[in-house]
A = this chain, B = another copy of it.
Amino acid sequence: MARLISLVERGGPPARQVGRLTFPRSGNAYTVGITGAPGAGKSTLADGLIRLVRAAGQEVGVLAIDPSSPFSGGAILGDRVRMQDHAVDPGVFIRSMATRGHLGGLALATPEAVRVLDAAGFPLVLIETVGVGQVEVEIAGEADTTVVVVNPGWGDAVQANKAGLLEAADIFVINKADRPGAKETARDLEMMLMMTQDLGEWTPPILTAVATTGAGVDEVWEAVGRHRVFLDQAGLLARRRTSRLESEVRAIVSSRLEQHAYQACRGEEFQGLLSQVAARQLDPYAAAEQVLRTPGGEG
CB contact list, A214-246 vs B, under 8 A: 238, 241-242, 245-246
Q: Is the interface of A mostly helix, strand, loop or mixed?
A: helix
Q: Tell me the nearest residue of chain B to A283, going by C-beta.
A: B23
Pairwise interchain contact B261-A249, C-beta atoms closer than 8 A: no
Given contacts A256-B292, A257-B261, A280-B23, A273 and B285 within 8 Å (CB-CB): no
* Residue in A24, A111, A253, A260 whose Cβ sees the most chain B Cβ within 10 Å: A253
Complex formed: what's the CA distance from A257 to B293 in Å?
Answer: 12
Complex formed: what's the CA distance from A260 to B299 in Å?
Answer: 12
CB contact list, A244-263 vs B, under 8 A: 245-246, 248-250, 252-254, 256-258, 260-261
Interface size on A, residues (CB 8 A): 43
A191: Cβ under 8 A from any B Cβ? no
CB contact list, A24-71 vs B, under 8 A: 24, 26-27
A5: Cβ under 8 A from any B Cβ? no
A135: Cβ under 8 A from any B Cβ? no
Complex formed: what's the CA distance from A261 to B281 in Å?
Answer: 30
Give how many copies assemble into the complex: 2
Residues of B within 8 A of A261 (CB): 250, 253-254, 257
* CB 8 Å contact bits of A103-145 with B (1 = contact, 0 = none): 0000000010000000000000000000000000000000000
Pairwise interchain contact B257-A274, C-beta atoms closer than 8 A: no
* CB 8 Å contact bits of A261-293 with B (1 = contact, 0 = none): 100110000000110011011011111110110
A19: Cβ under 8 A from any B Cβ? yes
Complex formed: what's the CA distance from A20 to B286 in Å?
Answer: 9
Closest chain-B Cβ to A133's Cβ sits at a distance in Å of 11
* Residue in A19, A26, A257 whose Cβ sees the most chain B Cβ within 10 Å: A257
| Interchain Cβ contacts under 8 Å between A and B, 11 examples | A242-B274, A242-B278, A245-B274, A249-B277, A249-B284, A252-B284, A253-B265, A256-B298, A257-B292, A257-B298, A260-B298
Contacts A242-B277, A253-B292 given; 6 further ones with Cβ under 8 A? A24-B280, A111-B284, A249-B284, A250-B265, A252-B284, A254-B258
